[in-house]
Chains A and B, each alone.
Chain A
Amino acid sequence: MNKDLVKILSELKSIAPDADYSAKLRNLLLAEINTDKRTAPERFSLADVLVAVYSRRPIYVIAATAFALILIVSSSAFYTVNEINKHDFVVKAGEVNNSIQVKLDEIKYLLGSKEIDYNKSVIIQTMLLGATEDLKKASEEKDTNKSLEKIKSAQETLYKIDVLLQNK
């Protein structure tokens, strides 16, 4: 390879963001992180949710179990299925796992306040099982794109559950 080209390429290493802007962005980033931390709901473990559920209505046991399945299946799907695009999977896994955690927190809260009626809980249960099924298929799928489609579908289902929970 042309030595001049290698030299010029290595000189591109001097490209850097504007120092002032960079410092401002750092402050902005830390401010956003702190805002995230303040607005994040208190985290509950799956065990907390199950204990709360058992003490109330049995229908929620199924819903919480489905959540547990989603957590287990999604973790294994993302980390073991596809070696080719594991970086993308890890990023995607984080997003989906966060969505699931948010839903768990919300269910826990709603159980406490008894704001979900029986019919809605059945619908949510069905949707959860659908999402679980999608994630299970994602874990079995060899094709990366098809796996991602299933993961996306599970994520969309979670968003729909979110809408249902918000319109309680």
Chain B
Amino acid sequence: MLDGDKNLIERAIGGEAEAFGQLYDKYQSGIYRFIYLKVGLREEAEDLTHQVFLKSWRNISGYNFRGFPFSSWLYSIAKNQVIDYYRLKKEVIKLESIAELKTENDSQISLDKKTDLTRVKNAILELNDEQQSVIIFRFIEDFSISETALALDKSESAVKLLQHRAVKNLKKIIDE
């Protein structure tokens, strides 16, 4: 836990909205990315990200400093939000309907590269929930094995195994 985070969290628990706003600024992109790569639709990901932060604000007094980082706590809320989303939606999103990938430096990315990115992103969507999470945490968010284990509530050896299977499946899907 970073000291800055702890201070912001304590102030947010005390009811200071701006402190929570700063936590939002810090973690919003990561949470959005996590959700977007799981639902594949930009607007839905934005709405779900908003819901995650609203929910975390309403439950922030239940956050426990000891045990796991604030980011892991947010990701667990995001994970549940995505599960609820699919439970309510009850329909499979067809890959064809998935919005075209948009990135921060969209105009600077070549067509080939963009095609590769879209292919990989669509392949991630075909993985199961845990495999998606491990790919996102390890290779996109650069989490360590131990951070990933905390975020997924798994042992480090389980994460290594999960990562091995996820990468294997991802390559298989891409090569199909």
A-side interface residues toward B, CB under 8 Å? 1-2, 5-6, 8-18, 21-22, 25-26, 28-30, 32-34, 36-37, 79, 84-88, 90-91, 93-95, 97-98
Q: Are A15 and B58 in contact (CB under 8 A)?
A: no
Q: Could you list 30 examples of A-B contacts with CB < 8 Å?
A: A5-B171, A8-B120, A9-B120, A12-B37, A12-B140, A13-B142, A14-B104, A15-B36, A15-B103, A16-B32, A16-B104, A17-B29, A17-B42, A17-B49, A18-B46, A26-B21, A26-B25, A29-B20, A32-B54, A32-B57, A37-B17, A84-B153, A85-B153, A87-B72, A87-B76, A88-B76, A90-B73, A94-B58, A94-B62, A97-B62
- Tell which of B17, B64, B77, B139 touches A79, judged by Cβ atoms closer than 8 Å: B64
Residue among B54, B67, B77, B171 making CB contact with A29, cutoff 8 Å:
B54
The reply to whether A91 and B76 form a contact with Cβ atoms under 8 Å apart is yes
Within 8 Å CB of A18, what residues of B? Answer: 42, 46, 102
> How many positions in chain B have a CB within 8 Å of any CB in the partner chain?
56
Q: How many whole Å from B72's CB to the nearest CB in chain A?
A: 7
Chain B residues close to A by CB (< 8 Å):
15, 17-18, 20-21, 24-25, 28-29, 32-33, 36-37, 42, 45-46, 49-50, 53-55, 57-64, 67-68, 72-73, 76-77, 80, 101-105, 113, 116-117, 120-121, 135, 139-142, 153, 167, 170-171, 174
Which residues from chain A contact B139 at a C-beta distance below 8 Å?
6, 9-10
Q: What residues of A have a CB within 8 angstroms of the CB of B15 in the complex? A: 37
Looking at chain A's contact residues, is the secondary structure mostly helix, strand, loop, or mixed? helix
Known contacts A12-B120, A15-B33, A79-B64, A25 near B135 by CB under 8 Å:
no
Cα A104 to Cα B57 with chains together (Å): 21
Residue of A nearest to B168 (CB): A1
CB <8 Å contact, A91 and B59: yes
Which among B53, B62, B121 is the interface contact of A91 at CB below 8 angstroms?
B62
Considering the complex of A and B, which 9 residue pairs feature the smallest CB-CB distances, nearest first?
A94-B62, A94-B59, A87-B76, A9-B139, A14-B103, A33-B17, A17-B32, A16-B104, A14-B104
Provide the residues of chain B in CB contact with A12, threshold 8 Å: 33, 37, 117, 120-121, 140
A10 to B140, Cβ gap below 8 A?
Answer: yes
* B149 to A: closest C-beta gap in Å: 12
Residue from B50, B62, B102 in contact with A28 in the complex, judged by beta carbons closer than 8 Å: B50
| A17 pairs with B46, CB closer than 8 A | yes
Residues in B whose Cβ lies below 8 Å from that of A17: 28-29, 32, 42, 45-46, 49
- A16, A25, A33: the one contacting B103 at CB < 8 Å is A16
Most chain B CB inside 10 Å of its own CB: which residue of A11, A21, A84, A98: A11
User: Complex formed: what's the CA distance from A22 to B43 in Å?
Assistant: 11
Q: Which residues of A contact B49 (CB under 8 A)?
A: 17, 25
